[in-house]
């Protein structure tokens, strides 16, 4: 499978615990994005990497959230001290070097449930 891969697909955690999600982009893609989607809403932008550099972060990304892309390949998204409001689908996407408008390829997401 050469698409965007996310792991795990589902995560149930207790409030206050830390969780980490992984995203493996399409291999030639140097741009990687994280989005969050809550029920009945469109995805909301969280952060964006070009290679290993994190170029933009949304205000939605509180201090409890951290994303890394250490070697410009896979990325991790960590949520510390999870809260019930963090329950959502976390989507990763990647795209090739920028053209007039790059197509972002999305993974199937990690569904987080905080209980």
What is the token pair recorded at 104? 């972002």
DSSP letter, residue 84: G
CB crowding 28-47: b at 16 or more within 10 Å, else e: ebbbbbbbbeeeeeebeebb
55 binds another protein (CB under 8 A): yes
Q: Which of residues 10-49 bind another protein (CB under 8 A)?
A: 31, 33, 35, 40-45, 48
Cβ distance to another protein smaller for residue 82 or 95: 95
Binding site for another protein (CB under 8 A): 3-4, 31, 33, 35, 40-45, 48, 50, 55-56, 91, 93, 98, 100-109
């Amino acid at each position: 499978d050469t698409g965007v891969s996310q792991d795990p697909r589902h995560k149930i955690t207790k409030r206050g615990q830390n969780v980490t999600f992984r995203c493996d982009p399409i291999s030639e893609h140097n741009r990687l994005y994280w989005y969050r989607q809550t029920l009945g809403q469109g995805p909301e932008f969280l952060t964006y990497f070009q290679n290993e550099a994190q170029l933009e972060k949304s205000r939605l990304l509180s201090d409890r959230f951290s994303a890394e892309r250490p070697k410009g390949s896979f990325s991790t998204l960590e949520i510390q001290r999870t809260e019930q409001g963090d329950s959502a689908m976390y989507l990763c996407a990647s795209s090739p070097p920028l053209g007039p408008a790059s197509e972002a390829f999305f993974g199937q997401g990690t569904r987080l449930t905080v209980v």
